[in-house]
């Protein structure tokens, strides 16, 4: 038993080291872009876009890595290593979500848009959270594929139709795909479909919405009427690192500079 535990621990350390190498390989180009950024508004905007794309990939990798520890049995079982089935389902859903989101964005915009692809991976991870232990590998792929399509459509709907300021698609990834994943845990239950289980999942979705939405609506309204929700346009240009902390965290990309 202890020999198996040591073997599993070694495998986890090896995979962690490999992930760290990948992250460092992506961080390298970030510093290059930062050094080459032109000291103009147009040049900075272009450099920021390039850096942002690299950082998106880095944070997606970090988030995906952390999700394994959250989902694979929540995520460390008592013996100290992750459950293989949960980890496989988690990985397959993320991969399927990235592919379907990329294809969906490709069809809608004519290009395989990178940020939508990354959101698709996160959507797959979120959607498989509830059912990672009780669905088959095939079902995890299906769940990820649906989540990837759903997140692209949801981002467009919330942005264009509802006019909600959600620049990173957080509501679509965690709210919409989270609700779908909760329902999918019942729909794709490996032990067989059960209306009772699906009903419980729907009850959970409704209960979460009825608790979170009214509470947060009231809270944000109170903040808006008292100290305010948004900073001024000038502070947005300067960056909150200047307004809140009195320093420039990204001096190469500053649009206005400290006064």
Q: What is the pLDDT of residues 81-109, one digit of tens each?
A: 456 677 788 889 999 999 999 999 999 99
CA–CA gap between residue 241 and residue 235 (Å, rounded) = 9
CATH number of this structure's domain 2-193: 1.10.3430.10
38 SS3 class: coil
Range(s) for CATH 1.10.3430.10 in the chain? 2-193
User: Does pTM top 0.75 for this prediction?
Assistant: no
Sheet strands (E) in 154-248 = none
Taking only the tens of pLDDT, the chain with its 259 residues reads 444 444 444 444 444 444 444 444 444 444 444 444 445 555 555 555 555 566 666 777 777 666 666 655 454 443 344 566 777 888 899 999 999 999 999 999 999 888 899 899 999 989 998 888 889 999 999 999 999 999 999 999 999 999 888 888 889 999 999 999 999 999 999 888 889 999 999 999 999 999 999 999 999 999 999 988 888 888 877 777 777 787 776 665 555 555 5
CA–CA gap between residue 140 and residue 172 (Å, rounded) = 19
41-47 contacts, C-beta under 8 A, 24 or more apart: 41/255, 44/252, 44/253, 44/254, 44/255, 47/252, 47/253
CB 81 within 8 A of CB 8: yes
Output the DSSP codes for 182-203.
HHHHHHT-TT---HHHHHHHHH
Q: What is the pLDDT of residues 31-63, one digit of tens each?
A: 444 444 445 555 555 555 555 566 666 777 777
């Amino acid at each position: 038993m202890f020999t198996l535990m040591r073997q599993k621990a070694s495998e986890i350390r090896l995979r962690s080291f490999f992930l760290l190498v990948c992250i460092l390989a992506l961080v390298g180009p970030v510093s290059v872009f930062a050094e080459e950024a032109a000291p103009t508004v147009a040049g900075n905007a272009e450099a920021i876009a390039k850096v942002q794309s690299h950082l998106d990939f880095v944070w997606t990798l970090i988030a995906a890595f952390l999700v394994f520890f959250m989902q694979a049995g929540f995520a460390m079982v008592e013996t100290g290593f992750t459950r293989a089935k949960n980890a496989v389902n988690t990985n397959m859903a993320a991969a399927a979500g990235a592919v379907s989101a990329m294809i969906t964005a490709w069809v809608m915009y004519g290009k395989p848009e990178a940020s939508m692809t990354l959101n698709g991976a996160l959507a797959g991870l979120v959607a498989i959270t509830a059912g990672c232990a009780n669905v088959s590998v095939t079902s995890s792929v299906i769940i990820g594929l649906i989540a990837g399509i759903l997140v692209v459509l949801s981002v467009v709907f919330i942005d264009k139709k509802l006019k909600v300021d959600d620049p990173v698609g957080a509501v679509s990834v965690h709210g919409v795909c989270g609700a779908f994943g909760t329902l999918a845990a019942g729909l794709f239950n490996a032990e067989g479909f059960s209306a009772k289980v699906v009903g419980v999942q729907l009850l959970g979705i409704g209960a979460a919405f009825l608790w979170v939405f009214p509470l947060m609506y009231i809270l944000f309204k109170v903040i808006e009427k008292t100290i305010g929700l948004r900073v001024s346009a000038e502070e947005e240009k300067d960056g909150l690192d200047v307004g809140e902390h009195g320093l420039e965290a990204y001096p190469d990309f500053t649009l206005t500079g400290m006064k």
